[in-house]
Chains A and B, each alone.
Chain A
Amino acid sequence: SQQGEEDPQALSIQEGENATMNCSYKTSINNLQWYRQNSGRGLVHLILIRSNEREKHSGRLRVTLDTSKKSSSLLITASRAADTASYFCGLGTSYGKLTFGQGTILTVHP
């Protein structure tokens, strides 16, 4: 089965800067979701984009999906120190199964 591949593996920025993370995959998907994980905690859902959508916004988050390139990006604008976490893309297929990649570790310096 497929997993998403997040890029970069680690990202370090200053507060106020934008953070962009990418996710690539190999086979067809029903939807793509982004999750956040704070150290030692479970994942928390951020945003979902369906395969027939190209862009979605939620607060400071912007997600794009290019099914022709089989890739997605997550943009966090005006980053805060509290955004420091690991971010994972989840690939949704029929029958509800969701698979994840290795994640991107984001560090936002105050």
Chain B
Amino acid sequence: NAGVTQTPKFQVLKTGQSMTLQCAQDMNHEYMSWYRQDPGMGLRLIHYSVGAGITDQGEVPNGYNVSRSTTEDFPLRLLSAAPSQTSVYFCASSSTPQGMISGANVLTFGAGSRLTVL
């Protein structure tokens, strides 16, 4: 059971380049999300999805796009990378018991993707 798999683990980009961080889970989890982690800032929610075809913005969505065409995959796209997007990115998923309103999400995290934008 692989859990949450993120690729690549490391990436260096130049300003203005585009790229996609991949996230895949094999636990049939409905809920998936992306966080970025910066020193002194903790983890901040970028985007999240409550199921295939449904996405929503988190705390810091600007500069990032997401889509959810399948239950398993939730890619994060940087259309024009900026140095401010240098960070460690984490994907996390969960199975939401009895719907979203009363359920408590216990997240399973991937190992992270370290991105440097020069």
Interface residues of A (CB under 8 A from B): 1, 3, 30-31, 33, 35, 40-45, 48, 50, 88, 90, 92, 94-103
Select which of B90, B96, B103 is within 8 A of A43 by beta carbon. B90
Chain A residue with Cβ nearest B59: A1
Select which of A33, A88, A96 is within 8 A of B43 by beta carbon. A88
**Cross-chain contact A96 with B59 (CB below 8 angstroms):** no
Distance from A88 Cβ to chain B, minimum over Cβ atoms (Å)? 7
Q: How far is the CA of A56 from the CA of B48 in the complex (A)?
A: 28
Q: How far is the CA of A99 from the CA of B58 in the complex (A)?
A: 9
| Given known A97-B45, A100-B35, contact A92–B105 (CB-CB < 8 A) | yes
How large, as a class, is the contact surface on chain B?
20 to 34
Nearest first, the 6 A-B pairs at minimum CB distance are A42-B109, A102-B42, A100-B43, A96-B105, A31-B104, A95-B100
Interface residues of B (CB under 8 A from A): 4, 31, 33, 35, 40-45, 48, 50, 58-59, 90, 92, 94, 96, 100-112
**Cross-chain contact B112 with A41 (CB below 8 angstroms):** yes
Chain B residue with Cβ nearest A1: B59
Residues of A within 8 A of B106 (CB): 33, 45, 48
Residues of B within 8 A of A95 (CB): 50, 100-101
| Given known A1-B59, A48-B104, A95-B100, contact A42–B42 (CB-CB < 8 A) | no
Select which of A42, A44, A98, A101 is within 8 A of B105 by beta carbon. A98
Q: How far is the CA of A40 from the CA of B111 in the complex (A)?
A: 8
Residues of B within 8 A of A35 (CB): 107
Q: How far is the CA of A88 from the CA of B100 in the complex (A)?
A: 22
| Given known A97-B48, A100-B42, contact A90–B107 (CB-CB < 8 A) | yes
- Which of B90, B92, B101, B104 has the most chain A CB within a 10 Å cutoff? B104
Select which of B43, B50, B100, B109 is within 8 A of A44 by beta carbon. B109
Distance from A35 Cβ to chain B, minimum over Cβ atoms (Å)? 8
A-B contact pairs, 30 of them (CB 8 A): A1-B45, A1-B58, A3-B44, A3-B59, A30-B104, A33-B106, A33-B107, A43-B43, A43-B92, A43-B109, A44-B109, A45-B107, A45-B108, A48-B106, A50-B104, A88-B42, A92-B105, A95-B50, A95-B101, A96-B31, A96-B50, A96-B96, A96-B100, A97-B58, A97-B105, A99-B58, A99-B59, A100-B42, A100-B43, A100-B44
